[in-house]
Structure 1
Amino acid sequence: MTLLITGLILFFASHSISIINEPWRNRMATRLGEKGWQGLYGLIALAGFVLIIWGYGQAQQAPNPLYVPPSWTRPIALLLILPVFPLLVATYFPGRIQAIAKHPMLLATLLWALAHLLVTGTLASVLLFGSFLLWAIADRLSMTHRIQRPIQGAPPSNWNDLIALLVGLVIYGGFLFWLHHWLFGVAP
């Protein structure tokens, strides 16, 4: 559990700097250069991500159940996950989906975390998915008080929404029927 918690701290510390102290983030980016800052930020986030995966895998080998999710939550979780991949793709393909969602990656993270909390009930799962849910909410709320930096993506196009939907649904299908089980050992 220590690796999971350490990973969560590193990952969310790096991802929460703009929430907590955006002026400091901007000073550091100026001092290191934007690419230098992104490199440092990326290394810390990657280290956290690796520790999250490793720590979660270890914690799930001897799970500590907190609750037993009812079976009727599984179809709800599958429905909540359905827009996740199109939203993630829409983050990089500006169009109506991006405009309506405003922050499609945060909305995708929120839905992903909520869906997993509905169908998992171990301590490690609640720590992992609960942390992502709370962070997505906090980051989204903080966006009302700060200017969002642009995300590099495709140029605006009338086709971007169709691309986001089709690519996102193909990825969803891949996870539903094969990838989730292959990567995580659990078939949705």
Structure 2
Amino acid sequence: MSWTAFAAVFVAFFLTHSIPVRPGIKARLTRTFGARGFGMGYSLLSTAMLVLLIWAAGQAPYVELWPHMLWQRHSAHLGMLTVCLILALSIARPNPFSFGGAHNDRYDPERPGVTRFTRHPILLALAIWAGVHLLPNGDLAHVLLFGVLGSFAVAGHALIDRRKRREMGAEQWQALEAQRRAAPLLQAPASWTGFIGRLAFALGLFATLLWAHPYVIGVSAL
């Protein structure tokens, strides 16, 4: 694959990922497919585009920037376990500070869960994923891939904060933020059964990613 083709896949990736922040396009798709249909369809599309982009990076011309070493792979495993834990503790949980929260009207700022540590856990997970994958992938195409995606995740914090402050109103946003920051860093979960279930999901997701890596990405993570 040429650098031009790799760049074209990159552009297509960002175009598809701009859909949720374009109210007109999102509204039309939601009216056509329903909120649930849009959510499921967009999740499948974004996942497929990410896999395509990673595959394209592997097909781009190889230009080594630093050599691969075993410790880099172990660091990536530890980082990905952290990513899985963050995802398991944040998916389908109320989060009025970010996009995609479930039942945001039920959000309790005095028991904010993982949002006590970050308003945008999904973006944090993406940033960690990109960062730990930079270590064992020291060629130019993958450095561009993970460097851009990691920067996109970091920049997304400020972009989403501005949009949500505008939607909620600065005074309401600030009051909710103050309550979130005042909550204890560590609290007993409201449901130990639900908490243990999410931890089990995190471990299962981590094991699944290790198993699927050679089939989906083409390279073993081990």
TM-score, with length taken from structure 2: 0.62
Letter in 2 for 1:83: T
Letter in 1 for 2:78: L
Q: Which has the larger radius of gyration?
A: 2
Distance of aligned partners of 1:92 and 1:8 in 2 relative to their CA distance in 1, 3 Å threshold: same
* Corresponding pairs, count: 171
In the alignment, the residues of structure 2 paired with residue 47 and residue 75 of structure 1 have an alpha-carbon distance, to the nearest angstrom, of 26
Letter in 1 for 2:59: Q
Letter in 2 for 1:56: A
Paired position in structure 2 for 1:65: 64
* Preserved contact between residue 137 and residue 143 of structure 2 (Cα < 8 Å): yes
Paired position in structure 1 for 2:75: 76
Distance of aligned partners of 1:146 and 1:123 in 2 relative to their CA distance in 1, 3 Å threshold: same
* Preserved contact between residue 131 and residue 146 of structure 2 (Cα < 8 Å): yes
Paired position in structure 1 for 2:162: 145
Paired position in structure 2 for 1:86: 85
Cα RMSD (Å) of the superposition? 3.2
* Preserved contact between residue 117 and residue 130 of structure 1 (Cα < 8 Å): yes
TM-score, with length taken from structure 1: 0.71
* Preserved contact between residue 113 and residue 133 of structure 1 (Cα < 8 Å): yes
Give unpaired runs (5+ residues) of structure 1.
Answer: 150-156
Paired position in structure 1 for 2:138: 121
Q: 1:85 deviation in Å? A: 1.5
* Preserved contact between residue 19 and residue 25 of structure 2 (Cα < 8 Å): no
Q: 1:8 deviation in Å? A: 1.7
Q: 1:46 deviation in Å? A: 6.6
2:23 corresponds, among 21, 26, 31, to 26
Give unpaired runs (5+ residues) of structure 2.
Answer: 94-111, 168-189
In the alignment, the residues of structure 2 paired with residue 63 and residue 48 of structure 1 have an alpha-carbon distance, to the nearest angstrom, of 21
2:164 counterpart SS class: coil
Paired position in structure 1 for 2:5: 3
Bigger drift between 95-104 and 2-11 goes to: 95-104
Distance of aligned partners of 1:170 and 1:46 in 2 relative to their CA distance in 1, 3 Å threshold: closer
Distance of aligned partners of 1:47 and 1:114 in 2 relative to their CA distance in 1, 3 Å threshold: closer
Letter in 1 for 2:30: E
* Preserved contact between residue 90 and residue 121 of structure 2 (Cα < 8 Å): yes
Paired position in structure 2 for 1:181: 214
2:117 counterpart SS class: helix
2:152 counterpart SS class: helix
Q: 1:168 deviation in Å? A: 1.1
In the alignment, the residues of structure 2 paired with residue 5 and residue 127 of structure 1 have an alpha-carbon distance, to the nearest angstrom, of 10
